[in-house]
Amino acid sequence: MTVLSFLWVVGAMASLAMSTTLCQDCDFILCHKSQEKAAKNYIDTWNGDFSLENITFTPNVNLYQDRLPGSNGSIELSIGTSGEFIKFMKMAHTGWNHYQFVVQNIAFDKYNVVIRWALNATVGPHDKMIIPINKPEGSHITYNGTDWLYLDDCTGRIKRVDSAQDYITALHAQGLTDVKI
């Protein structure tokens, strides 16, 4: 064995040892298919398959987004676990007769997945709705938004989401034209 190839083997063994100690259960291989799977899991979870929680998210997933409109102005919602994320999704579904996200466009870059989506929803009975809404039951509501998913490089699960809804459009679609900030 030449000195050069010996050094190469030592180096390869060292980096192998390092990657296994850094990431014990590293079973994720980044490829287009795994990126698509992460996006599909996210949309399916949002569309009501909450059993996907621990396939889709890391336990300490963060959601960053703008303040949400509330009846007294706006509220901040901080989300730092997958359980809180699911709770937030269930809250978002509450009251609507139909509540579904449709993917308009999607972009992938390594551990980043960016989804441009549209909400496809139908207003439910007013006494069941928990967001302020000024449209009759049965009204179709749609608006767009963009979610940036950050994948964990060890598990491929989503560890962070930066979400931006088209809020002014959304509020007007919901019939709210004078919302206090």
Ligand X SMILES: *[C@@H]1O[C@H](CO)[C@@H](O)[C@H](O)[C@H]1NC(C)=O
**Which residue, 30 or 70, is less far from ligand X as judged by CB?**
70
Q: Using CB under 6 A, which residues numbered 148 to 177 contact ligand X? A: 166, 169
Report the C-alpha gap between 34 and 44 in whole angstroms. 15
Query: What letter would DSSP give residue 154?
Result: T
Q: Using CB under 6 A, which residues numbered 14 to 73 contact ligand X? A: 51, 53-54, 70-72
Span near ligand X by CB under 6 A; candidates 6-14, 34-42, 106-114, 115-123:
115-123
What angle is formed at CA 137 by the lines to CA 133 and CA 140, rounded to 5 degrees? 80
Greatest Cα pair distance, the chain, in angstroms, is: 80
Span near ligand X by CB under 6 A; candidates 18-26, 28-36, 142-150, 152-160:
142-150
**Which residue, 11 or 140, is less far from ligand X as judged by CB?**
140
CB 164 within 8 A of CB 176: no
In sequence order, the 6+-apart residues with CB closer than 8 A to the CB of 139 are 122, 123
Choose which of 47, 122, 134, 163 interacts with ligand X (CB under 6 A). Answer: 122
Choose which of 19, 60, 74, 142 interacts with ligand X (CB under 6 A). Answer: 142
Report the C-alpha gap between 156 and 142 in whole angstroms. 30
In sequence order, the 6+-apart residues with CB closer than 8 A to the CB of 60 are 80, 81, 82, 159
CB of 32 to ligand X, least distance (A): 22
Q: Is 102 in the site for ligand X (CB under 6 A)?
A: yes
Which parts of this chain interact with ligand X (CB under 6 A)? 51, 53-54, 70-72, 98, 100, 102, 104, 118, 120, 122, 142-144, 166, 169
